[in-house]
Structure 1
């Protein structure tokens, strides 16, 4: 990052592209960065693992069809698919550990891991919860789980609404309380003390407080953040600022700073393909992936 007086600019450029021979055959749906490795999941049913500079380390034919989502604990990678399964893999070498779920009548669109609990969201609005890979309970939020994020005992899900659920993780039985529904849609991401998502049309960015005491109130909204639909958001907190990155059908990855109840554009990078997935790496690196297996490393400093 370059800082001069009150000016804050993020210089964005593609620094590395995945080699054509190593890429996924079809669209990439999800990226995960864990323990200095990048994991990708795609419509070819494969999970691939990469070095931070996009050198292929290994791959596995995880599912016979699309892999929609990945999540990681300290030593295990979880994958979900439209084949009705959720599987567990060794985070180190992608060796299969077990099939956690096998329900052919469901498509499992999202998995998320937090503090020993695995959350599995499906196309019928169910969220199954596992405690250390043991089934703990199920709840239904009445709409498909297109995207999901977890912060402690608060679960955020999204499809055509942002649903905030308080999940009770004590006792033998799972209990949950719906706290609020917010007008918006997937994708969502948690960035610093904020909850970020898009409007129903998918081109505006909306930011709310990520705080129960503050009733998740709206902080900012930016109309026309992208010319076309936003497919993915990724955010974090660094240098005392909330950073947000967005990407979608217009083939641009954009950088934003959220401060003083405003969403400020700080940079943009044309990657040349429709962006389906973003994830933050180390030291100002952003990874983008999507159409036809394309994957790039972006310097955002």
Structure 2
């Protein structure tokens, strides 16, 4: 089934600088970028709300049932109303730290920073700290593990979240670099250290988080991968990838491998991908552009 660019954000509404983060949550799309702004979009990329969330680049977004979270190089984590983007609270502020990633999972907020720490918040109160030894460029959570990665290794850390204090223990390391994504509950995808190959691993500790396959992203010399997004739509497990070659690619997870599912030129360097409703994908990146791609 071909991939088709369905719509683009208008020039008057798009970000002023590169987009770093996309988040699809409860039928709404959120974006954040180097301009410090956070925007709320309709499914056909009409801007519905905007806030100057930070004075520096916003690197990541996450959401709970009623709150949007943002992290920034200005050393702050902020909370907003999901529908209006009205500021609720500044969760923390530390001008000596850059917060690169936020993820929300099962009542806990995980915050990765440039000093190699993952701060965990429970009910928006600090719960504990996990040290993973290298800056956290990307972060995912698959219970009971926190996955963190920069440029050399994916660090898999087991965390226990049911006590008065956070307990953790580093479990495994997998060679690779950011980005990292989950595909359903059974697969982990990340990038090889050269930035040009996608690695598919089992998410099952019983297999030793085994590498299942390795594929080259594309055929061009300029094919560094910046973004991955895994999704389970019904019984379909799919992965989307994009980067400097401006091509959004779809991969079907079949027989513990990745099969080519088509591609489309979106005409922007891709920094972030978010999967929306069935067969809709959003990609964003250079100069503030955002596009929606449909699987026809």
TM-score by length of 1: 0.95
Instruction: Report the Cα distance in structure 1 between the residues aligned to 2:11 and 2:245, rounded to whole angstroms.
Output: 22
Partner of 2:271: 276
Residues 249 and 201 (structure 1), Cα distance of their counterparts in 2 relative to 1, 3 Å cut: same
Alignment partner of 1:234 is 2:229 = yes
Q: Contact (CA 8 Å) 1:89, 1:98: kept in 2 or not?
A: yes
For residue 154 of structure 1, report the CA deviation from its aligned partner: 1.2
Conserved in 2, the CA contact under 8 Å of 1:17 and 1:296? yes
1:198 matched residue in structure 2? 191
Q: Which runs of 4+ in 1 moved over 2 A?
A: 223-227, 238-241
Tell me which residue corresponds to 1:175.
167
SS at match of 2:207: coil
The answer to whether the 8 A contact 2:224-2:243 is kept is yes
* Root mean square deviation, CA, Å: 1.0
TM-score, normalization by structure 2: 0.96
| Distance in 1 separating the partners of 2:292 and 2:94 | 36
**1:263 deviation in Å?**
1.5
Q: Which residue of structure 2 aligns with residue 187 of structure 1?
A: 179
Tell me the secondary structure at the aligned position of residue 213 of structure 1. Answer: helix
1:82 aligned partner = 73
- 1:214 to 2:207 alignment: yes
Structure 2 residues without counterparts, runs of 5 or longer:
none
Matched residues in 2 for 1:16 and 1:223: separation?
28
Unaligned runs of 5+ in 1: 1-9
1:6 corresponds to: none
Shift of residue 226 of structure 1? Answer: 5.8
Q: In structure 1, which of residues 93, 96, 101 is the aligned counterpart of residue 92 of structure 2?
A: 101
Once residues 284 and 176 of structure 2 are traced to their aligned partners in structure 1, the CA distance between those partners, rounded to angstroms, is: 24
